[in-house]
Structure 1
Amino acid sequence: MPRTVHGYLISSTKSASVSLRECRRTSQKHVYTHPDANVDIVFVHGLNGDPRRSWVGKNGTFWPTQLLPATLKSAQARILVYGYNADLFAFSNGQNASSDMIHNHAQSLLTQLTLERKFEEKTSHPIIFVCHSLGGILVKKALEISQGYINDLRSIFISTYGLMFLGTPHNGADPAKWDVILQGMVSALIPKRIMDTEAPLVRTLQKNNETLQNINIAFLDIISRFEVCMVHEIIKSDLHGTRAFVVDQGSAAPLLPNVLYFGIEANHSDMCKFDSKNSPGYLNISSTLKSWVKECVPVIRERQIVERQVEQQKPVAVTAGMHNEVNNSTLMSP
């Protein structure tokens, strides 16, 4: 198992890990690679998170590298984290809160993941996404976009096997509680006046938001292709004097066919942070991921074969169509 020394992840001789310091807030990085890995697990954080601290427990455990590889055992995988600007407020150093539309963030995720897999020659790897909060909405949109492409970007849609949603607000949050919820997601030291509660990215998460509804409608058309697990928070969050669910069970776990559901004895922020294999929820999440890694390769390999066959037939179909048009025009000529 990798261990931490002076902030760096030290890997065993049978795996490769990178320093967490190399994980920039707005970048994609593979943080663990087993030499026999044949699956990619991609972690996508939520609102006001980043690719490092979103997955770190109270004692400093970065569980995607310090717990998960040991749990997976013979189910070898590459582990990647994706970061994007999901801030609610501006920092004193001039960094602004994100104003990108959800489409732009999803397009960036899709492009970066495609290019990384192509560069590392891992395009045949099945993909499993682990998404916290807004990250789940982002991934759903990315898969919708990927489905519509006919080039390399379509490979993400074809290769995706499983989706683990942790506290994702599929149906949005109650607008009446929205300001309180947002304020509770940042430090009490951050003045409310500098929070960007009207940013398009933030508005997407409100109940009855048109963008969110469109993403959900598109996802319902493709959900049957994936293994899906929806996880909800069981403990209310302390929202500076008020206790409430940031994402209630109805939004985090809407009833859908063939979906695995369970709750985690943690609040919204802590439900994606684990310090040990005995942390609440870790066994359910890690065992689900392990089973997906073990079963996904033949399924995705078959889909990739079918996709290549369809691509190979396209030029033939076009040529045949042009040939028929020529024959028809010849027959119609005087």
Structure 2
Amino acid sequence: MVRAVTDDDIGLKVLCEPAKATAEEAAQIIDIVAIHGIGAHPDDTWCKNVGTTENAQWVNWLAKEDMLPALAPNARIMRYGYQSQWFGKDTMRQKVSTVAPRLLLALKRKREDLLFRPLIFIAHCFGGLVVLKALLDAWNNEKEWPGMFISTTGLIFFGTPFRGAEGMSQAEMLEAAWREYQEDEVQTEVLKILEPGNEFLQEIVDKFGKTRMQANKAEVACFFELKSSNVGRIVGKEDRIRFVVSESSGCLDLSDSTSKFSLSRTHFDMNKFGKPTEEDFEIVGDVIKKMVEAAHRLVLARSECNYASS
């Protein structure tokens, strides 16, 4: 059962600040922002229970000192929360094109005096599509969102369905939801973009691909699941075992700055880690360290390129 998202859960929340530093060290600080998927809680989505059902011990790998903060000691780590419940009494009429500008506004406020600080996004499922739309908007309107696109140096996607979620049919999900809830307690709009062949989804991915033709493009890592998920239990009581996002759908593009990795997890736990010695976390950790190390170099290279062409 997903915990209800309150007003206090929405927006950007700082989970970890880098240690106090000298002016020179402060210049090396980066921002990392994590964004959850639909039907998920902004904090719980990154947590794993390392205890038992009776005695739960939840670990948030974004904040646990020997996990993400250890991989990126010079990072301000944040997570972005939005209302994403599409069924039940707290349902929201939500979609990518409404979440993306709110994300940009939150980042603009938080980075008002840090426009060109390197920025790395970590996203799960639908959250990855929000990131793409936000970056597209930033690319198309530099005046409104100064520094947002050029400072983004790394993108990490966990099970983002760039070509649709083949295993999570919209019709099946709605059918299951309508068996459990009243018609006005089910919002269909948010699921449409997850359908293979959805025109809006294709447009976002295609247009974002054109931004990837520039030099010094952001590093991209796409993670895909190796275990099937019980998608039927998300909204109902009937088992439906499916692979939600395939390897091909979960890979953004085939450029030299995009890599893909498998994780021996289901779609719904591929974004949850409990300790730094988990093999899947070590795979993710290697990617993060590489992106963190390259972040300032990429921003500098882009600024020099823009200066040379002006």
Do both share a fold (TM > 0.5)?
yes
CA distance in 2, matches of 1:270, 1:195: 26
CA distance in 2, matches of 1:287, 1:176: 30
- DSSP 3-state at the match of 2:248: helix
Q: Is the 8 A contact 2:10 2:83 kept in 1?
A: yes
Aligned residue type for 1:63? W
Q: Is the 8 A contact 2:263 2:280 kept in 1?
A: yes
Call closer, same or farther: CA 1:141–1:176 in 2, change over 3 Å.
closer
- DSSP 3-state at the match of 1:61: strand
Call closer, same or farther: CA 1:176–1:44 in 2, change over 3 Å.
closer
Aligned residue type for 2:277? N
CA distance in 2, matches of 1:275, 1:23: 27
Q: CA deviation at 1:309?
A: 7.9
Aligned residue type for 2:261? F
The answer for the alignment partner of 1:56 in structure 2 is: 47
Q: Is the 8 A contact 1:147 1:154 kept in 2?
A: no
The answer for the alignment partner of 2:229 in structure 1 is: 237
The answer for the alignment partner of 2:96 in structure 1 is: 102
CA distance in 1, matches of 2:185, 2:6: 28
Aligned residue type for 2:99? H
Q: Which of 203, 209, 213 is the equivalent residue of 1:214?
A: 203
Q: CA deviation at 1:58?
A: 1.9
Call closer, same or farther: CA 1:87–1:123 in 2, change over 3 Å.
same
CA distance in 2, matches of 1:307, 1:181: 47
Q: C-alpha deviations, 1:155-178, integer Å up to 9, x for none? A: 110100011010000001238833
Q: C-alpha deviations, 1:53-85, integer Å up to 9, x for none? A: 110012300110104345316x51110100111
Root-mean-square deviation (Å): 2.8
Q: Is the 8 A contact 1:140 1:215 kept in 2?
A: yes
Q: C-alpha deviations, 1:119-157, integer Å up to 9, x for none? A: xx3323100100100011010010100011132513110
Q: What is the TM-score normalised by the length of structure 2?
A: 0.81
Q: Is the 8 A contact 1:24 1:51 kept in 2?
A: no
Q: Which of 33, 41, 47 is the equivalent residue of 1:42?
A: 33
Aligned length: 281
- DSSP 3-state at the match of 2:94: coil
Q: C-alpha deviations, 1:242-268, integer Å up to 9, x for none? A: 211121222112551222111111111
Aligned residue type for 1:198? T
Call closer, same or farther: CA 1:22–1:205 in 2, change over 3 Å.
closer
The answer for the alignment partner of 2:191 in structure 1 is: 202
The answer for the alignment partner of 1:80 in structure 2 is: 78
Alignment gaps of 5+ in structure 2: 51-57, 233-237
Aligned residue type for 1:273? K
Q: Is the 8 A contact 1:28 1:80 kept in 2?
A: yes
Higher helix share: 1
CA distance in 2, matches of 1:31, 1:256: 33
CA distance in 2, matches of 1:181, 1:40: 36
Call closer, same or farther: CA 1:183–1:33 in 2, change over 3 Å.
farther
Over the matched positions of the two proteins, sequence identity in percent amounts to 25
The structure whose Rg is larger is 1
- DSSP 3-state at the match of 1:283: helix
1:262 and 2:261 matched: yes
Q: CA deviation at 1:283?
A: 0.7
Q: CA deviation at 1:183?
A: 7.9
1:150 and 2:155 matched: no
- DSSP 3-state at the match of 1:165: strand
- DSSP 3-state at the match of 2:63: helix
Q: Is the 8 A contact 1:236 1:246 kept in 2?
A: yes
Q: C-alpha deviations, 1:277-326, integer Å up to 9, x for none? A: 1234211111211111112102213424555787xx6xxxxxxxxxxxxx
Deviation larger for 247-256 or 100-109 = 247-256
Aligned residue type for 2:37? G
- DSSP 3-state at the match of 1:173: coil
- DSSP 3-state at the match of 2:49: coil
The answer for the alignment partner of 1:6 in structure 2 is: none
CA distance in 1, matches of 2:68, 2:130: 25
The answer for the alignment partner of 2:159 in structure 1 is: 167
The answer for the alignment partner of 2:288 in structure 1 is: 289
Q: C-alpha deviations, 1:66-113, integer Å up to 9, x for none? A: 04345316x51110100111112133xxx3x23234222111111111
Alignment gaps of 5+ in structure 1: 1-20, 314-334
Aligned residue type for 1:117? R
Q: CA deviation at 1:234?
A: 0.7
CA distance in 2, matches of 1:249, 1:178: 20
CA distance in 2, matches of 1:39, 1:265: 30
Q: Is the 8 A contact 1:266 1:280 kept in 2?
A: no
The answer for the alignment partner of 2:53 in structure 1 is: none
